[in-house]
Amino acid sequence: MEKEKIQEVIVVEGKHDTMTLKEIFDCETIETGGTSLPESVFQRIEEAIKKTGVIVFTDPDTPGNQIRFKIKERFPMIKEAFIPKNKAKTAKKVGVEHAKAKDLQESLHHVATSFSNIKSDMTMEDLLDLGLSADVWASERREYVGHQLHLGTANAKTFLKRLQHYGIQRKEVQELMKSWQKQFQPHLERKKFLNNIN
């Protein structure tokens, strides 16, 4: 069976991520080898952006977000792919290498691209109003919204930066929060109640 061709070079953290992706896709990768990111890695990314484009696809954890942030600082318009943490982990480890083929395909079929002419109207006040920050269920809500928008999840400050960077509008987030409310709020309230009486 012919593998799906990924046009862009994919930035991953290590050789196991590369091996996993190459089993599924016809693709090229750049491995960061950790969070230190030597200048040679940035140079390779810069060259790849000029030739084919680049997708940043790091692990859904703190080191992965640190690497992503450093790359975005140098190349703000670079493409990104995200995978939910619950789709990329074993009992002890988190990483792209642990994800199933269908979940990797889902992530790379929904690459986030920034458009400089689309300005987001989201603010930190909006995150507070919508329960995406400083709320008992804020983390769960951010995870849901991030999954629906294919933007991953992060702490409130980083999440807001992502929403703004990709031109996400308050109205779109409001609609997602209505959907979250219908699907999960009753279950979570019951869970909270049971925890309180146990």
For 129-138, how does the pLDDT look when each residue is reduced to its tens digit (9 = 90+)?
Answer: 999 999 989 9
Residues 82-111, mean pLDDT to the nearest whole number: 93
Q: Which residue has the higher pLDDT, 167 or 114?
A: 167
Residue with tokens 């089993």: 23
The residues facing 10 across adjacent strands are 29, 55
CA atoms within a 13 Å half-sphere pointing along the CA-CB vector of 2:
3
* 95-104 pLDDT per residue, tens: 999 999 999 9
Cross-strand partners of 54: 9
Q: What pLDDT score does 92 carry?
A: 87
The reply to whether the predicted model has a pTM over 0.85 is: no
Residue 191 tokens, joined: 């869970």
Q: Which residue segments constitute the domains of the chain, with CATH numbers given?
A: 4-110 (3.40.1360.10), 124-196 (no CATH)
